[in-house]
Amino acid sequence: MDLETSEISNYKSSAVLSKLASNEQHGENSPYFDGWKAYDNDPFHLVNNLNGVIQMGLAENQLSVDLIEEWIKRNPKASICTNDGIESFRRIANFQDYHGLPEFTNAIAKFMEKTRGGKVKFDAKRVVMAGGATGANETLILCLADPGDAFLVPTPYYPGFNRDLRWRSGVQLLPISCKSCNNFKITIEAIEEAYEKGQQANVKIKGLILTNPCNPLGTILDRDTLKKISTFTNEHNIHLVCDEIYAATVFNPPKFVSIAEIINEDNCINKDLVHIVSSLSKDLGFPGFRVGIVYSFNDDVVNCARKMSSFGLVSTQTQHLLAFMLSDDEFVEEFLIESAKRLRERYEKFTRGLEEIGIKCLESNAGVYCWMDLRSLLKEATLDAEMSLWKLIINEVKLNVSPGSSFNCSEVGWFRVCFANIDDQTMEIALARIRMFMDAYNNVNKNGVMKNKHNGRGTTYDLTPQMGSTMKMLLA
């Protein structure tokens, strides 16, 4: 019997590729990444493609890039590719060991202190480089766990964790279920329940991973919750990994509290079990620079992570530039203040626009996205209904927003929508599209019947073609 084309393809792959290369554990078979593909195939452009897909699935902070550009113009010596900086070219272009340039690691430690309000000190000797937060997360997991071991993770969580933490390490992620009834706050009861389930399944639990501020919720963990969580991990002798890559994106009170503050206050906590992941991708808007940081309070982890960092070093040219920039205290302080101000203004403008349309979001004070509540638009509270709504938004409204199920959310109907990676005009067009979609949707009951305002009779119709025509009207 002849094999189907897909079966032949899979057979050929398994014959020439390793099990790692040919498996499906990379996590990219997800609506989260499918939305990116839809954007890549038909990207919106204010001049060249007004009918394209607007990218609102990319968690980038592009609102203050002009401040960075102005600093670079004022400081040509920071680059080895200018007449002013060429004198450093030979030294920087030569091989450097994987400890990093001293001026760079010192500047990173100093920046971490500033983004945490100067309440804690960081030791430059504990700063380990990695290729972005992706590389930092994987490096840390490889230091802490063996294949088959598991980490507890509160839901909803960043979809990339399935790739970054699991694919090459072979570890498992055990969800800690958080609910909308208390605004998705992490409770010790939920942590204990997830831990017990893992124990009953004979899974070796090595740690708990937090994202603080949270992606996708845009919320921060309060001091009391952090203390309870650190006490739990300490009592069970498991690691606590805190992903703090959005530390400088907090734009409204309360202020961000780092896990570093908590362990400084509580001498009973075993610091060897506490680790921080940081980066410059979100705080400064430098995702392309691939600057990830592992910061551990455990000497053995630091030494091991530094050896592993040779697989994903930050280029010395990038280190050199950033050492200059992050050592400019006046600039960094002004940037952090202005960036928070712009994030706040954009968040308030966008969420106010959604609220006027009748869409609410989880109240948040950090990050570059909103956790949008579209539960009322579902025909039923099922994953299929959420996927149907998401496909309509992608294909007809032409917005790449990410469904909650791709974040392992325990409840359907929530969507993450990013607001800081687009300009003001594009944001207004996105809001206009959503407004038109809601107007059309509100005229249709959940059985697909549109009420006739003149005679009260209903006529069956397909929502998708109508949305296609309304999009044309919007962009005409």
Positive/negative CA dihedral, 462, 466, 471, 476: positive
The CATH superfamily of 6-64+334-439+465-475 is: Aspartate Aminotransferase, domain 1 (3.90.1150.10)
157 flagged as catalytic: no
Q: Which residues contact 439 (CB under 8 A, 6 or more apart)?
A: 470
Q: Which residues on neighbouring strands pair with residue 240, listed in sequence order? A: 208, 274
12 is catalytic: no
| AA identity, residue 83 | N
* pLDDT, tens digit (0-9, with 9 covering 90-100), for 244-268: 999 999 999 999 999 999 999 988 9
Q: Would you put residue 315 in left (φ > 0), alpha (ψ -120 to 50) or beta?
A: beta
pTM (predicted TM-score): 0.90
Residue 160, CA atoms < 13 Å, CB-side half-sphere? 16
Residue 453 banded pLDDT, cuts 50, 70, 90: very low
Exposed/middle/buried for residue 470 (C-beta within 10 Å: 0-12, 13-18, 19+) = middle
Torsion 217-218-224-229 (CA) sign:
positive
Q: How confident is the model at residue 476 (pLDDT cuts 50, 70, 90)?
A: very low
The strand ranges marked E within 157-252 are 172-176, 205-211, 239-243
pLDDT at position 220 is 98
What's the pLDDT at 475? 40
Q: In whole angstroms, what is the distance from residue 160 CA to residue 148 CA?
A: 19
β-strand partners of 398:
none
- Cα angle for residues 227, 232, 236 (degrees, 5° grid): 150
Per the residue annotation, which of 32, 39, 157, 158 is the catalytic one?
A: 158
Nearest to 161 by CA among 25, 255, 276, 327: 25
Q: Does residue 37 have a pLDDT over 70? A: yes
Distance CA 182, CA 321 (A): 44
In the DSSP assignment, the letter for residue 398 is -
Q: How far is Cα 340 from Cα 252, in angstroms, rounded to an integer?
A: 8
Q: How many CB atoms lie within 10 A of CB 46?
A: 11
The yes-or-no verdict on residue 449 having pLDDT over 50 is: no
Distance CA 127, CA 319 (A): 13
Distance (Å, rounded) from C-alpha 245 to C-alpha 340? 15
Look at residue 455 in the predicted model and tell me its pLDDT. 33
Q: Give the whole-angstrom CA distance, residue 129 versus residue 109.
A: 12
Tell me what pLDDT residue 22 has: 82
Are 305 and 128 within 8 A, CB to CB?
Answer: yes
| Integer CA distances (angstroms), 235 to 17, 200, 250, 264, in order | 43, 19, 30, 17
The one-letter code for the residue type at 233 is T
Q: Structure tokens of 184?
A: 């998705």
User: What percent of the chain has a predicted confidence (pLDDT) above 70?
Assistant: 90
User: pLDDT averaged over the chain?
Assistant: 89
Residue with the bigger pLDDT between 115 and 314: it is: 115
pLDDT, residue 469, reads 55
Inform me whether the pLDDT recorded for 13 exceeds 80. no
pLDDT in tens, 273-324: 999 999 999 999 998 889 999 999 999 999 999 999 888 888 888 999 999 9
Catalytic residue among 209, 245, 263, 394: 245
Out of 3.20.20.70, 3.40.640.10, 3.30.390.30, 1.10.620.20, select the CATH number for domain 74-333: 3.40.640.10
Which among 32, 282, 429, 434 is annotated as catalytic?
282
Would you give the distance in Å from CA 271 to the centre of its chain? Answer: 26
Rg, Å, the chain Cα set:
24
Pairing of strands 360-361, 369-373: antiparallel
DSSP state of 211: E
The answer to whether the bond into 403 is cis (omega within 30° of 0) is: no
Span 61-96, pLDDT tens digits: 999 999 999 999 999 988 888 887 888 877 777 867
Task: Report the pLDDT averaged over residues 228-234.
Answer: 97
Q: Which of 173-187, 242-256, 286-300, 454-468 has the lowest mean pLDDT?
A: 454-468
pLDDT at res. 4: 53
Minimum mean pLDDT range among 77-86, 161-170, 327-336, 347-356:
77-86
pLDDT above 50 for 198: yes
Q: What are phi and psi of 235, to 5 degrees?
A: -65, -30
Decide if 255 is catalytic. no
d(CA 176, CA 229): 12
Find the catalytic residue in 243, 347, 394, 429.
243
Bigger pLDDT: 84 vs 44: 44
Asked whether the predicted pLDDT for residue 470 surpasses 60, the reply is no
User: What number is the average pLDDT over the span 362-377?
Assistant: 97
Give the tokens for residue 442. 């509100």
Beta bridge partners of 242: 210, 276
Known catalytic membership, residue 282: yes
Q: Which residues, in sequence order, are CB contacts of 164 under 8 Å at separation 6+?
A: 133, 134, 137, 138
Please tell me whether residue 276 adopts helix, strand or coil conformation: strand
Where do the structural domains in the chain lie, given as residue ranges? 6-64+334-439+465-475, 74-333
User: Is 463 a residue whose pLDDT tops 50?
Assistant: no
